Chain A
Amino acid sequence: QVQLQESGPGLVRPSQTLSLTCSVSGDSSNSDDYYWGWIRQPPGKGLEWIGYSSNSGRYYYNPSLKSRLIMSEGTTNNQFSLMLSSVTSADTAVYYCARASGSRGYYGFFQQWGQGTLVTVSS
């Protein structure tokens, strides 16, 4: 059973860059069958898709965040990362990393999730 775990600072200053890493452990077989992504949830609100990547290295970003967003593979195997620049209080949220599965060529339902990490943007 695959497990995902987010890590990174819980407090980020306004205008700075939010950086998070997701560590993946467990069953890595058939890894080409999955996409790896990020979703966030402001306190008391709904879910927002941030972006995801395929194992072929193609990245898909939410247009609302694209100008501030960089996703990448991590510095070690079985990790991937998120960087969101020029943050404001509107970026305060629980950030989840997740593994997306697909059917009939459409990837995007999230079957495995990390526990989430709260990132607060405040001075």
Chain B
Amino acid sequence: IVLTQSPGTLSLSPGEGATLSCRASQSVSGGFLAWYQQRPGQAPRLLIYAASSRATGIPDRFSGSGSGTDFTLTISRLEPEDFAVYYCQQYVSSPLTFGGGTKVEIK
């Protein structure tokens, strides 16, 4: 399953909201899709699993939604630490695959 993320780069200001898209080449049945945040020089951090479940310790300004082939990660109000690269990943079928990433940068 190929995952295509858009946009490639999102330029926003702190306090603004962000909407990141992940589109799958075929249905991710059951919504077995995760989202990760990666800051420079760090390992990815799990934000969302099963399309909409927040991982332990993740602030509620992060939310996930979607089903089938279209999924969305929403950040309601950007904090300075949220400027990073975000990846989606499906785990419904092997090989597990990641999207190419969306970079959220400070405008």
Seen from chain A, the residues whose Cβ lies within 8 Å of a Cβ on chain B are 46-49, 60, 62-64, 96, 100-101, 103-104, 106-111, 113-116
- DSSP class of B's interface residues: helix, strand, loop or mixed? loop
A96: chain B residues within 8 A (beta carbon): 43-44
Sorted nearest first, the 10 A-B pairs with minimum C-beta distance are A108-B91, A113-B43, A109-B34, A109-B49, A49-B96, A47-B98, A62-B95, A106-B32, A111-B46, A46-B100
B101: chain A residues within 8 A (beta carbon): 46
- Report how far A104 CA is from B94 CA in the complex, Å: 16
Among B43, B50, B53, point to the contact of A114 (Cβ < 8 A): B43
Write the B35-49 contact mask toward A (1 if CB under 8 angstroms, else 0). 010000011111001
B89 part of interface (Cβ distance < 8 Å): yes
In the complex, the answer to whether A46 meets B46 with C-beta atoms within 8 Å is no
In the complex, the answer to whether A103 meets B43 with C-beta atoms within 8 Å is no
In the complex, the answer to whether B89 meets A109 with C-beta atoms within 8 Å is yes
Seen from chain B, the residues whose Cβ lies within 8 Å of a Cβ on chain A are 30, 32, 34, 36, 42-46, 49-50, 53, 55-56, 87, 89, 91-92, 94-101
- Could you write out 9 A-B pairs with CB less than 8 Å apart? A47-B36, A62-B96, A64-B95, A101-B49, A104-B50, A106-B91, A109-B32, A110-B44, A116-B43
